[in-house]
Structure 1
């Protein structure tokens, strides 16, 4: 007997009317008209069933701190960093866990079951590290949390970052991070990349670097990141996050840069909601869009995933941790409105993110982990367009969240003309 049998599902690759059988936490069969009894049967007729969403870049330690100690009135990255520095002395492990746990609950309800979170190591107490390590253990049955040791105040710029990074890794943080564009000089930024990548090679760890989160076209640390990745044999294990300076670079230089990223098998994470909000703040008009060159990178076979980055914190005042909203913004900012392009955008919050995080047994194939989302939509494009509540969220073959269908009624002639709105073509 199957644990769950999902009937008549639409799959992200355009297969329609397929059944999915789940047993012992795994997908055990996918075919039309599967025969067999199940503890739970779900009718997914005309509904998209996708792998669970993936957030490839987030900051769980800072989330839901909006207005503490004050609001970011300039809307800039640098004021956000200043606000975070002002808040850090008032943090406690329990407060960090309480906020991050609530955010995880939001993520799960919205179908996101994997988050790569950067955790600030510039606080010598390492409270955020302790809090998120505890939370990761507490939430592991419901959501995967991968932690990046992130020197928010600079690996070389802040005096204790080198020591704190070593401490964080020994405690169990998974990935090495950095922020070269925030170091004192361009040279120190490049040196920080070299040192951090060498450390990753020595310890056999992944790298995810905040890189060139700037409007400055001369912020070119991603070039150094690609070089060090290739030099040290880290191909496929290094991620460049943000890369917003690419939106300001001239096309000739980018024509040189993209092949270097290809050679290094560098992975890229864009954060559409936050990139479009923080970047271009010093522009009058024309005003730059702020997001890296997602379309060009994807067309060059570079893996590009999306992150939510922030929710209600010093850098971003909005959000409910919905990766479909992230995809919606990315589609618009990147002007990726072709049919194939919109499908690529959906991949940026699912399969591409799983590749960044190196999640095992991810997807909708026999043998994959049964981590699935049943959408109130017919296909990936409609899911991005409508951003409806997720009907079911399944983790390891267990339903862990569900929602009632979103429904709107017209009452044009009172109760005599009561009709349900159909939002599809």
Structure 2
């Protein structure tokens, strides 16, 4: 395969990209625009980009909104109640069908790697078993990581710790947690220590739902970062949500950021879901309830964006488009300066790949030929246009291809 007239991120020139045996073999700068032969793919000066990475989603819960009841208050905690109702209806066929439909939706929108949180507070662990099996079946088609996630608390749920360890024995790739949802502060801290202990025992990554609450006194993030630092595990540790950070005062955050930077941990924000779920106890002024994405970026701390939910008890919308999530984040987090735009795609590509510890990710000679083609010539134009993913290639094979939308009717204003 040969792609010509391609733009690459942060480069002004056009490039020709050669692919053989599923890998990038050369990336050559062009001196002029080329005419395509039948064996070549013409990028038409659109942006060739590393694939999108979905770092935080719940495939076991996807496409279940309204089953058996809707989350009428729209709150996080009613969402947890509604999911508790839905769990009794789970079976392998149900989870497979919904997970595959959601994965296909993500793939059609340029995603080639996914991290899914899967509930372990279910004595059958059917979600973990099913998604681990799907991961293995789809390993040649998509990178899928399964997080063992104790939705109702690792230590507050009956046999929660035993179920967590069983999930890791089954094969979950990542140890999850939810310390702010444990019954007490002490149990929350104990759960973080257990997460670290299990990750070391089973040689797994860590991704914790951390301080997903408006409470400014919820400060498990500092505890998680400190444990990661002391155990030298920062690169393998991710703090998801951290929405309480939006309620922390600046004096505390100035101290906290020093620890976060030194720890080397990663952050995932889910802005569309957080702005919907948080701030529910406020009248006005009303908090956005999204973590400090802009400040984390400015501090050179790795932060990326996920969708979290697609049509489930916590979020009844969602369409699989990470460009939509990025667009929301830029607005919500007030990252609307040109310098913010210039590297915006990092938060749904490179930064996410770093958080997931993906190997050989990116457009580089010798790497697997995984890439997407986006409408636009740089991060800013892609973000502004919010166009479709025109092409998705995995190991040199086209898995998605579409043409840019075209206006068929004749423009009428210019004729007046």
Q: TM-score range by the shorter chain?
A: over 0.9
Q: Which moved more, 1:261-270 or 1:370-379?
A: 370-379
Is the aligned partner of 1:55 residue 2:54?
A: yes
Tell me what 1:401 maps to. 400
Whether the 8 Å contact between 2:179 and 2:192 is mirrored in structure 1 is yes
Whether the 8 Å contact between 2:168 and 2:202 is mirrored in structure 1 is no
Describe the shift of the 1:163–1:40 C-alpha distance in structure 2 as closer, same or farther (beyond 3 A).
farther
Counterparts of 1:39 and 1:92, CA distance in 2: 48
Tell me what 2:134 maps to. 135
Counterparts of 1:39 and 1:162, CA distance in 2: 58
Tell me what 1:372 maps to. 371
Tell me what 2:101 maps to. 102
Whether the 8 Å contact between 1:330 and 1:345 is mirrored in structure 2 is no
Whether the 8 Å contact between 1:262 and 1:300 is mirrored in structure 2 is yes
For residue 316 of structure 2, give the secondary structure of its aligned residue in structure 1.
Answer: coil
1:382 deviates by 1.9
Counterparts of 1:169 and 1:412, CA distance in 2: 59
1:8 deviates by 1.1
Q: Deviations over 1:215-259 (max 9, x none)?
A: 111110000001111122212111000000000110000001011
Q: Which moved more, 1:76-85 or 1:368-377?
A: 368-377
For residue 234 of structure 2, give the secondary structure of its aligned residue in structure 1.
Answer: coil
Is the aligned partner of 1:245 residue 2:240?
A: no
1:324 deviates by 0.5
Q: Deviations over 1:152-192 (max 9, x none)?
A: 00010101211111111111110100000100011211111
Q: Deviations over 1:99-143 (max 9, x none)?
A: 010111111110000011111000110110111112112222221
Q: Which moved more, 1:175-184 or 1:375-384?
A: 375-384
Whether the 8 Å contact between 1:198 and 1:232 is mirrored in structure 2 is no
Q: Deviations over 1:17-73 (max 9, x none)?
A: 1111111111111112499x9984111122011000001111010001111111111
1:413 deviates by 5.3
Mapping 1:3-402, distance limit 5 Å: 4-33=1-30, 40-402=39-401
1:348 deviates by 0.6
Give the superposed CA RMSD.
1.9
Q: Tell me the TM-score normalised to structure 1 length.
A: 0.94
Whether the 8 Å contact between 1:240 and 1:269 is mirrored in structure 2 is yes
Whether the 8 Å contact between 1:80 and 1:315 is mirrored in structure 2 is yes
Counterparts of 2:214 and 2:309, CA distance in 1: 19
For residue 235 of structure 2, give the secondary structure of its aligned residue in structure 1.
Answer: coil
Whether the 8 Å contact between 2:234 and 2:266 is mirrored in structure 1 is no
Whether the 8 Å contact between 1:115 and 1:144 is mirrored in structure 2 is yes
1:211 deviates by 0.0
Counterparts of 1:310 and 1:176, CA distance in 2: 19
1:203 deviates by 2.5
Consecutive unaligned residues in structure 1, runs of 5 or more: 419-425
Counterparts of 2:52 and 2:5, CA distance in 1: 21
Whether the 8 Å contact between 1:201 and 1:234 is mirrored in structure 2 is no
Q: Tell me the TM-score normalised to structure 2 length.
A: 0.96
**How many residues matched?**
413
For residue 236 of structure 1, give the secondary structure of its aligned residue in structure 2.
Answer: helix
Whether the 8 Å contact between 2:74 and 2:277 is mirrored in structure 1 is yes
1:409 deviates by 4.4
Whether the 8 Å contact between 1:51 and 1:362 is mirrored in structure 2 is yes
Counterparts of 1:326 and 1:74, CA distance in 2: 23
Whether the 8 Å contact between 1:8 and 1:16 is mirrored in structure 2 is no
Describe the shift of the 1:58–1:40 C-alpha distance in structure 2 as closer, same or farther (beyond 3 A).
farther
Consecutive unaligned residues in structure 2, runs of 5 or more: none
Tell me what 1:421 maps to. none
Q: Deviations over 1:275-302 (max 9, x none)?
A: 1111111111111112100111111111
* 4+ residue segments displaced more than 6 Å: none
Counterparts of 1:51 and 1:164, CA distance in 2: 36
Whether the 8 Å contact between 1:374 and 1:393 is mirrored in structure 2 is yes
For residue 343 of structure 2, give the secondary structure of its aligned residue in structure 1.
Answer: helix
